[in-house]
Amino acid sequence: MLSSSLSAPTEPTLPQLGPHLPSRLTQQPWRLQYSTRQDGFSLRTLYRRGGQPGSPALLLIRDTEAQAFGAFSSSAIRCSSGFYGSGETFLFSFSPELKVFRWTGRNEFFVKGDVDLLMVGGGSGRFGLWLDGDLHRGGSCRCETFHNETLSSREEFCVQDLELWGLA
C-alpha cells in the first residue's frame, strides 16, 4: 500500500488514487523516487531520479496554502524535446475531496519537460500544471488536454513539498 510524507490522517493519501490508476497498476508496489524534503528543490534532480523510461509516475504536490494536487503520468517524468505520455495520464486535486481530470481526447499534450519547466497538459498556451526549474513556483490553468479546474487555490502557487513516486 502506498503511503506518503505529504499525508496526515485527515489529509489526502496515495491509496485514494488507487482506484483511478490503470487496472494493471492497482496491485503494484510503489516507491518514493524523489522528495523535496530529502533531495532538495531541483527539477534536474527529479529527472535523474525519475525511474525507468516505460514506468509510470505519480507526482504529488502540496503548496504553501496546504492545497494538495498533482499528476499521474503513464511514462516516467523526464527531460524531453516534445510531449510524451498517453491518455492514461491525468491530473488530480484534493479540494477537499479527490477530483480526477482525465484526458479529453482534444490533443496529446500530456507531459513535456526541459531544464527550466515541467508541463502536464496544455493547449492555447495554457498548462494544466507547470513547475519551474527550481521547483519553487508552479501554476495550474484549465487546459484542453484535461479540461481541469485550477488544481490549487490560485493559478500560480509556491511549492511547499513535492514527491515523485514510481513503481518499485
pTM attached to this predicted model: 0.91
Predicted local confidence at residue 121, as pLDDT: 98
* Amino acid letter for position 163: E
* Amino acid letter for position 108: E
All structural domains of the chain with their residue ranges: 29-167
**Residue 8 pLDDT greater than 60, yes or no:** no
- Which range is least confidently modeled, 3-12, 35-44, 103-112? 3-12
**Residue 135 pLDDT greater than 80, yes or no:** yes
**Residue 58 pLDDT greater than 60, yes or no:** yes
**Own/partner pairs, 24-32, CB within 8 angstroms, 24+ separation:** 25/56, 25/167, 28/167, 28/168, 29/167, 29/168, 30/2, 30/58, 30/165, 30/166, 30/167, 30/168, 31/165, 31/166, 31/167, 31/168, 32/4, 32/5, 32/163, 32/164, 32/165
